[in-house]
């Protein structure tokens, strides 16, 4: 039975389709039978597939009605991973994805405002977790960097509200930095130590991996 991963955020333009496409392609290239499920009426994921000349994108199907749960269960038998690209502002489809997922990833920009915009989604996920022994697992994915922003402050704001946060961490010359593509935001070692049990840490270089 396939592991089902949903990419959700009620806001548009936050990177859901980009994350869905890249995650699906990476799994496919690593040998996993992967299916992308497009729930967005705009069909952006399908457009990406149509422009893929090298056929590096997984197969894509459309599920645009939340009453297709039986179809999803039968499809899952034939794949290792199902990646659900969630639609913005379609509450029925978001609820459908939460109910049928093992893992939910929430792409956001690193700002308190974007975190607050996900409040209803977080409540929905927590309500589902209470009756399913913690399933689906969920975490924020910081999908964009904003130069000169206080990322540590925004992470603290998310942790204060008991959200899970994934951070990309580098270690350079004994110091810890946050940043997706490069080490950008220097973080005090004490700050990190105090929060390490509350963060999902993605080590970006060998030095960071050895540190943790």
Q: Which pLDDT score is estimated for 148?
A: 44
pLDDT tens digit string along 75-118? 888 899 999 988 776 778 888 889 889 999 998 876 666 777 78
**How many Å apart are CA 202 and CA 195, to the nearest integer?**
14
Residues 35 and 59 sit within 8 Å (Cβ to Cβ): yes
- For 203, the 3-state DSSP assignment is strand
Alpha helix stretches (DSSP H) within 51-100? 69-76, 91-99
- For 177, the 3-state DSSP assignment is strand
Other beta carbons within 10 angstroms of residue 130's beta carbon come to 9
pTM (two decimals)? 0.66
**How many Å apart are CA 23 and CA 197, to the nearest integer?**
26
pLDDT tens digit string along 9-31? 888 778 888 888 889 989 998 99
Q: Sorting pLDDT into bands at 50, 70 and 90, what band is 175?
A: confident
Residues 59 and 36 sit within 8 Å (Cβ to Cβ): yes
Q: How far is CA 124 from CA 98, 119, 142, 175, in A?
A: 8, 9, 20, 38
């Amino acid at each position: 039975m396939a592991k089902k991963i949903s990419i959700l955020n009620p806001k548009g333009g936050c990177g859901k389709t980009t994350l869905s496409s890249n995650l699906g392609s990476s799994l496919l290239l690593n040998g996993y039978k992967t299916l992308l499920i497009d729930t967005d009426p705009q069909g952006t994921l399908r457009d990406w597939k149509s422009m893929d000349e090298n056929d590096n994108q997984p197969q894509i199907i459309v599920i645009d009605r939340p009453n297709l749960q039986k179809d999803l269960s039968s499809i899952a038998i034939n794949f290792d991973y199902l990646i659900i690209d969630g639609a913005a502002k379609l509450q029925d489809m978001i609820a459908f994805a939460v109910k049928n997922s093992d893992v939910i990833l929430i792409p956001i920009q690193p700002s308190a405002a974007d975190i607050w915009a996900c409040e209803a989604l977080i409540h929905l996920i927590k309500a589902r977790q209470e009756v399913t022994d913690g399933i689906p697992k969920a975490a924020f994915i910081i999908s964009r960097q904003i130069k000169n922003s206080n990322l540590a402050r925004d992470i603290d704001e998310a942790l204060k509200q008991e959200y899970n946060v994934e951070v990309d961490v580098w270690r350079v010359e004994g110091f810890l930095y946050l940043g997706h593509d490069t080490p950008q935001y220097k973080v005090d070692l004490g700050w990190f130590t105090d929060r390490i049990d509350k963060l999902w840490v993605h080590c970006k270089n060998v030095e960071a991996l050895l540190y943790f």
